[in-house]
Amino acid sequence: MSLNAYESLTHRGEDGAPTVFAFHGTGGNERQFFELARQILPEATVVSPRGDVSEHGALRFFRRTGEGVYDMDDLAARTAKMADYIAAHRDAGTGPVYAFGYSNGANILAAVLLSQPGLIDRAALLHPLIPWQPLPQPALASTQVLITAGENDPICPWPLSAALISYFQAQGSSVVTDIHPGGHELRPTELAALKSFLQRDS
CATH number at residue 164: 3.40.50.1820
Q: Is the pLDDT of residue 79 over 80?
A: yes
Rounded to an integer, what is the distance from CA 103 to the centroid of its chain?
9
In-domain check, residue 192:
yes
In-domain check, residue 2:
no
* Burial label, 21 (beta-carbon count in 10 A; 0-12, 13-18, 19+): buried
In-domain check, residue 1:
no
C-alpha to C-alpha distance for 201 and 34, rounded to whole angstroms: 22
Predicted TM-score (pTM) of this structure? 0.95
In-domain check, residue 117:
yes
Residue 158 has, within 13 A of its CA and on its CB side, a CA count of 11
pLDDT tens sequence across 123-180: 999 999 888 889 999 999 999 999 999 999 999 999 999 999 999 999 999 999 999 9
pLDDT class of 14 with cuts at 50, 70, 90: very high
In-domain check, residue 3:
no
Per-residue pLDDT, 1: 58
Where in the sequence is the domain holding 34, given as residue range(s)?
Answer: 8-199
**Of 106, 103, 100, the residue nearest 155 (C-alpha):** 103
In-domain check, residue 136:
yes
| Rg, Å, the chain Cα set | 15
Tell me, what DSSP letter sits at residue 63? -
Domain count, the chain: 1
